Amino acid sequence: MIPALLASVGLPLLSKAIGAALGSIDHPVARIAVDALSGVDAALRSQAISPEQVAAANRRIERLAELDSEDYRQTLAQVNATFRAEVRSDDAYVRRWRPTFGYAVAATWSATMGAMAWAVVAAPAQAPTIIAAMVNTAPIWGIALAVLGISVVKRSQDKAAGC
């Protein structure tokens, strides 16, 4: 999806967007890239880079987007095949791993939030430290909740399809 969007805006807008994004990064390599992209932008404006060259670059971007799109299709086909095999399985646990994972995440989330609430009430002076520690667990919870969300959506699709 994103490669197709990038291909549709073309080289001039793409170089400006990437240059602006990299401009906010305080790193020598990012600065070199911003300078290079500014040079490309200036060459495009002064037509030192011909419209034919821009068109060829845009075609290359479109081709790369097509290749990425095909990779995504293949990945989704593999994931779909895995889900279908899971639905057809006679093994009770294979068919029930999603609810098991959901219950495990819910229990863990409840225990963690309960412990955090108790710790803040029991030691209010330590509340900033406790909350900062909980913030550090955000990536772990983000992954667990994303997997749970995908599992719920997929199971809802399976039920709608009669599986």
pLDDT tens digits along 120-132: 999 999 999 998 8
Contact predicate 40/15, CB 8 Å: yes
Within 13 Å and on the Cβ side, how many CA atoms surround 86?
16
Question: Which positions ≥6 away from 119 have C-beta within 8 Å?
Answer: 126, 130
3-state secondary structure 28-87: HHHHHHHHHHHHHHHHHHCCCCCHHHHHHHHHHHHHHHHHHHHHHHHHHHHHHHHHHHHH
pTM value surpassing 0.75 = no
Backbone angles phi, psi at 27, to 5 degrees: -155, 140
Higher pLDDT, 127 or 53: 127
Q: Give which of 68, 56, 46 is closest to 11, Cα–Cα.
A: 56
Q: How confident is the model at residue 7 (pLDDT cuts 50, 70, 90)?
A: very low
Report percent pLDDT > 70 for the chain.
86
- Compute the C-alpha angle 112/115/121, nearest 5°: 140
Whether 61 has a pLDDT exceeding 90, the answer reads no
Q: Which two tokens stand for residue 90?
A: 């006679």
pLDDT tens digits along 18-45: 778 878 888 888 888 888 888 888 887 7
Higher pLDDT, 155 or 102: 102
